[in-house]
């Protein structure tokens, strides 16, 4: 079996990279953001699959299946993380956010192509007052079309990543192929930021990148923020 995969709302390619490293055959990554797509295309060492700048609205009504050359039900995995800004606890202002509706377009795409599995991630705030009803409606729709949906709050720090990063992850598996999925248990591996990047030399004091490490630089902070730190 080919573990074929499409990464929707791909961003700069982090999920595509992980899926590829895990053995998935990533057929396509797409996102509406120009800078994200240019980032993926510029990293040919890591990404060799088709990458497109596209709105998810342009991928429904059969176009996605035409692009990847598969029929309904043949794709192994549809992955994606629709925009999270509307659900973020850091957000201020009105609860309503038009970007939240993109979750339903993702569900519509699942319904159309009927992958064996789908995975969707979002910020933990999606279970708060701004997103709980939307998340519940999506899960209900996916259940109604024949998916067993598993939901879990995962934290990257429990899997060897030097960052507290909590995300709600949904995994749906088509009921006709079985419902045996379970989320991975925490690895117990703990890494600190110092252990991960402590070998780096001190960056220049003027905010320019280090000559040997192009992405290693200081933030340009005000005097008051420097005192706070």
The two beta strands, 25-31 and 4-8, are parallel
Note the pTM of the prediction, 2 decimals.
0.84
Per-residue pLDDT reduced to its tens digit, 145-170: 999 999 999 999 999 999 999 999 99
- Residue 126: band (very low, low, confident or very high) from pLDDT cuts 50, 70, 90: confident
Residues carrying an active site annotation: 84
Residues of the chain within CATH 3.40.50.150 domain(s) are 4-177
Q: What's the CA dihedral at 201, 205, 210, 216 to 10 degrees? A: 80
| 3-class DSSP assignment, residue 148 | strand
Q: Which residue has the higher pLDDT, 78 or 205?
A: 78
CATH T-level fold of 4-177: Rossmann fold (3.40.50)
How far is 132 from 139, CA to CA, in rounded Å? 11
- Torsional class of 16: left (φ above 0), alpha (ψ -120 to 50), beta (otherwise): alpha
- 68 in Cβ contact with 8 (< 8 Å): no
- Residue 178: band (very low, low, confident or very high) from pLDDT cuts 50, 70, 90: confident
Q: Which of 156, 157, 11, 16 is nearest to 79 (CA)?
A: 16
């Amino acid at each position: 079996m080919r573990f074929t995969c499409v990464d929707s709302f791909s961003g700069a390619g982090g999920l595509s990279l992980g899926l590829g490293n895990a053995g998935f055959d990533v057929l396509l990554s797409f996102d509406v953001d120009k800078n994200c797509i240019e980032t993926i295309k510029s990293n040919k060492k890591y990404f060799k699959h088709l990458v497109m700048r596209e709105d998810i609205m342009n991928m429904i009504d059969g176009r996605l299946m035409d692009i990847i050359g598969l029929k309904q039900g043949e794709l192994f995995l549809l992955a994606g993380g629709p925009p999270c800004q509307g659900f973020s606890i850091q957000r201020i202002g009105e609860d309503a956010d038009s970007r939240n509706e993109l979750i339903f377009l993702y569900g519509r795409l699942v319904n159309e192509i009927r992958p064996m599995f789908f995975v969707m991630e979002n910020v933990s705030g999606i279970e708060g007052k701004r997103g709980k009803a939307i998340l519940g409606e999506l899960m209900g729709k996916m259940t109604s079309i024949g998916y067993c949906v598993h939901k879990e709050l995962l934290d990257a720090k429990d899997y060897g990543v030097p960052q507290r990063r909590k995300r709600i992850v949904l995994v749906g598996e088509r009921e006709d192929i079985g419902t045996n999925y379970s989320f991975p248990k925490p690895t117990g591996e703990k890494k600190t930021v110092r252990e991960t990047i402590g070998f780096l030399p001190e960056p220049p004091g003027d905010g320019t990148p280090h000559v040997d490490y192009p992405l290693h630089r200081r933030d340009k902070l005000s005097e008051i923020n420097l005192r706070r730190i």
